[in-house]
A and B are shown apart, each in its own frame.
Chain A
Amino acid sequence: MVYPGVHKENPAVEKINRTTTGRILLAFLSAALSVFLGAAPAAQSDEDCLACHGDKDLKSETGKRLFVDQAEFQVTIHGQGGLSCVDCHADLRKVADFPHNSPLKPAACKDCHEAAVQQFARSIHQAANERGTSGISIGCKDCHGTHAIKPSDDFDSSTFAINLPATCEKCHLEKVPSKKGAGFIGGYNLSAHFKALEKSGLTMSANCGHCHGAHDIKGVGDPLSSVSRKNIIKTCGTCHVGIQRGYLEGVHGIDYVKGIKDVPVCTDCHSEHNIISPEDINSTVYATKVAQVCANCHDDMALSRQYGFLTSRLRTYNESFHGTAARFGETRVANCASCHGFHDIRASSDPKSSIFKANLPATCGQCHPGASRHFAEGLIHSAPDQVQTAKYGTAHVVKEVYIFIIAAIIAVMVVFIAADFLRRVLRKEKHG
């Protein structure tokens, strides 16, 4: 079965396994190779190998099973193509003494899968192999398996879209966790992407490979990585085309294109692996939680000074009925996105912006039917020190006056009561 769309956009996945011509070519090449090698004197036939390795109980000195299931191999693409043992186990081609020395070198995938092996050589996996500090060495077989390798469009392949997360998580759940913490990668298993993949079998839903690539996976800090800040918009945009377009038209996208690093990208708001629907209460962009996400930057003093935007957005929102209600879990009140939009947020000076003065009645009118032009005559985020139109700040003056009056009245009451109470107590002592 071939699933159109799977890996289509990912050049890192080898095409040779998938196309019919590729299969024919592979069969031809391996046949030619075996003819050529057959002429060499010390070449081993599969029968020679299976003389020992066909024994189900064959074990090494350390107890490792050495049995090779020929039936299993023969139905694989490599088996059907007629590859013999030594085609891959190249270091045994010229060995005549048996049992041969062990361990063997890794299989020679490169002879056929040159592009993939070259890509792998530039990957973070190979870099880790070379560093050698993790104690783990990773190669082709760790993801693709050994004798029973199946093409990635096969349901049972370890690299089939639905199976790939489990393959990567063999190492990345526990053995090699992310620097961002143990649960960081496992969060993917809670994501909307994984749910679509596992529950609904939507193979076009993002798995590890869609975002990170396959053979040439790079660290997130590497500018060449598909998940670096530089590339993440394009990577998510591979599937979320409309959102990418909207984002690039908004203030964040415009600055992103300019190369400003502080600008939020997809993952800053939606999180990385654990991306879930905004309707899910655990989502970072759930109606009652999105304000906190925006405030990460918009209440940041340093960023506000650097880029010239106003702070106190979260505080002024929280103090409003909208924000207060949201804090108590009411989802039907306006949050940041209700008024500002989300992917294509525009500046209030932009006539296309939902908060452009002339558009405010329409924006507020989404919830307040028949909203009049008066909705625009005031400040929504009204921080006392940021009010430029005097009358718009009247409420703050009223507030100050009230605080003074309340303090004065309560103080007078307390003094009055204290005097009364003390006199009565004193009098009681005198007379009683």
Chain B
Amino acid sequence: MDSAPLIRDEEIFLRMNLAERVQHWVLISSFLLLILTGLPLFFYDVRFFQLLLPSGQSFYVRGIVHRIAAVVMIANVIAHLLYTALTRRGRDNFKEMLPRWQDVKDAVGLFGYNIGLSRFLNKRGIGAKFFKRHPYWLFERHPLYGRYNFVEKFEYWALGWGTFVMIFSGFFMWNVELSLRFFPLWVHDIFIIVHGYEAILAFLAVIIWHMYNVHLNPEVFPMSKVWLNGKISGKELRLLHPLEYEKILEERRKILSAEAL
């Protein structure tokens, strides 16, 4: 055993570099603005929105702000795509972000572990044979994640898909005359419906899924500070991203043994 561990608990790792944090900040602000200026159209009867937009002029400004925020978000998407394609770190992140079969197993595994039904049944001797042959279904341990777990991957790809849908439908809503030069009115109506309901889905997903995972989750409560300083400690790495921790550890061991030779 080494007297000094290869990864100390206090060591600082950069989980989000400045470029990634800026992308996230721009995303947060444009997303919030879009939600705030878009939801009134969906919930036109809600008093809050009527107070927020008390006049025809304010409603007009709402439209302008919505479009500006949309342009900012699109620019952010382009910046992110360029960053992902052109930088080493971006490409590495992207590879880590690709969904794998293991992610599905992790999701099921976490839920099964949290519920604890299999363990309960096994303890009572129910289905003991099955569990012996397929220990995975016993969900005895918390799944171990790499750099990005299934929660983060789901968020990333849902956001990607949602952004594409919103930009596509929103573009044609912005340019009604252009849209109706290509599509009949009933197709344009679909754009409107899709834009509205995709927004609701995104809004709910963010306030439920993302807010739980980065704020309410007892692991990080009251808030994970990664989005502010981008830093994660060696301890957090070991607990939250054990596979990545192992990987770094392995790399360092190799370097160490190479030096020793």
Interface residues of A (CB under 8 A from B): 288, 318, 321, 324-325, 327-332, 368-372, 374-380, 382, 391-396, 398-399, 402-403, 405-406, 409-410, 413-414, 416-417, 419-425, 428
| A424 contact set on B, CB distance < 8 A | 217-219
B208 at the interface (CB under 8 A from A): yes
* Contact A318 to B185, CB < 8 A, known contacts A406-B197, A409-B205, A417-B209: no
Most buried by A among B55, B60, B180, B204: B180
Within 8 A of A (CB), among B35-79: 40-41, 44, 50, 53-56, 58-60, 62
* Contact A403 to B208, CB < 8 A, known contacts A324-B41, A392-B186: no
Of the A-B pairs whose beta carbons lie under 8 Å apart in the complex, a sample of 21, sorted by A's number, is: A318-B44, A328-B58, A328-B62, A329-B59, A330-B56, A330-B60, A372-B180, A374-B180, A374-B184, A374-B185, A375-B180, A391-B186, A394-B190, A395-B186, A395-B193, A399-B193, A399-B197, A410-B205, A420-B217, A423-B113, A424-B218
Q: Complex formed: what's the CA distance from A81 to B84 in Å?
A: 104
* Contact A406 to B204, CB < 8 A, known contacts A374-B181, A422-B114: yes
Q: A205 to chain B: closest CB distance in Å? A: 30
Q: Complex formed: what's the CA distance from A329 to B62 in Å?
A: 12
Q: Are B189 and A395 in contact (CB under 8 A)?
A: yes
Q: B222 to chain A: closest CB distance in Å? A: 15
Q: Complex formed: what's the CA distance from A393 to B85 in Å?
A: 41
| A330 contact set on B, CB distance < 8 A | 56, 59-60
Q: Complex formed: what's the CA distance from A417 to B184 in Å?
A: 42
Within 8 A of A (CB), among B179-217: 180-190, 192-194, 197-198, 200-201, 204-205, 208-209, 212, 216-217
Q: Are B59 and A406 in contact (CB under 8 A)?
A: no
| A325 contact set on B, CB distance < 8 A | 56, 59
| A405 contact set on B, CB distance < 8 A | 201
Q: Are B44 and A329 in contact (CB under 8 A)?
A: no
Contact with B218, one of A379, A414, A425 (Cβ below 8 angstroms): A425
Q: B24 to chain A: closest CB distance in Å? A: 21
Q: Are B188 and A398 in contact (CB under 8 A)?
A: no
Q: A159 to chain B: closest CB distance in Å? A: 44
- Inter-chain contact count A-B, CB under 8 Å? 128
* Contact A382 to B201, CB < 8 A, known contacts A420-B110, A423-B113: no
Q: Complex formed: what's the CA distance from A269 to B68 in Å?
A: 40
Chain A residue nearest to B208 in the complex (CB):
A413
Most buried by B among A318, A402, A403: A402
Q: Are B56 and A419 in contact (CB under 8 A)?
A: no
| B54 contact set on A, CB distance < 8 A | 329
* Contact A378 to B188, CB < 8 A, known contacts A330-B56, A399-B193, A406-B201: yes
Known: A368-B176, A396-B193. 16 other contacts (CB 8 A): A328-B53, A329-B59, A371-B177, A371-B180, A372-B177, A374-B185, A378-B184, A378-B187, A378-B188, A379-B186, A394-B187, A398-B194, A399-B193, A406-B201, A410-B208, A423-B113
In this complex, the interface size class of chain B, counting residues with CB under 8 Å from chain A, is: 35 or more
Q: B159 to chain A: closest CB distance in Å? A: 14
Chain A residue nearest to B60 in the complex (CB):
A330
Q: Are B197 and A378 in contact (CB under 8 A)?
A: no
| A328 contact set on B, CB distance < 8 A | 40, 44, 50, 53, 55-56, 58-59, 62
Q: A392 to chain B: closest CB distance in Å? A: 5
B99 at the interface (CB under 8 A from A): no
B115 at the interface (CB under 8 A from A): yes
Contact with A423, one of B59, B116, B181, B201 (Cβ below 8 angstroms): B116
Q: B175 to chain A: closest CB distance in Å? A: 10
| A414 contact set on B, CB distance < 8 A | 208
Chain B residue nearest to A370 in the complex (CB):
B177
* Contact A327 to B44, CB < 8 A, known contacts A368-B177, A391-B186, A428-B218: yes
B25 at the interface (CB under 8 A from A): no
Chain A residue nearest to B213 in the complex (CB):
A417
Q: Complex formed: what's the CA distance from A419 to B209 in Å?
A: 13
Q: Are A398 and B193 in contact (CB under 8 A)?
A: yes
Q: Complex formed: what's the CA distance from A402 to B204 in Å?
A: 13
B111 at the interface (CB under 8 A from A): yes
* Contact A324 to B44, CB < 8 A, known contacts A288-B56, A422-B114: yes
Q: Are B183 and A374 in contact (CB under 8 A)?
A: yes
Q: Complex formed: what's the CA distance from A402 to B190 in Å?
A: 11
Q: Complex formed: what's the CA distance from A425 to B218 in Å?
A: 8
Q: A370 to chain B: closest CB distance in Å? A: 6
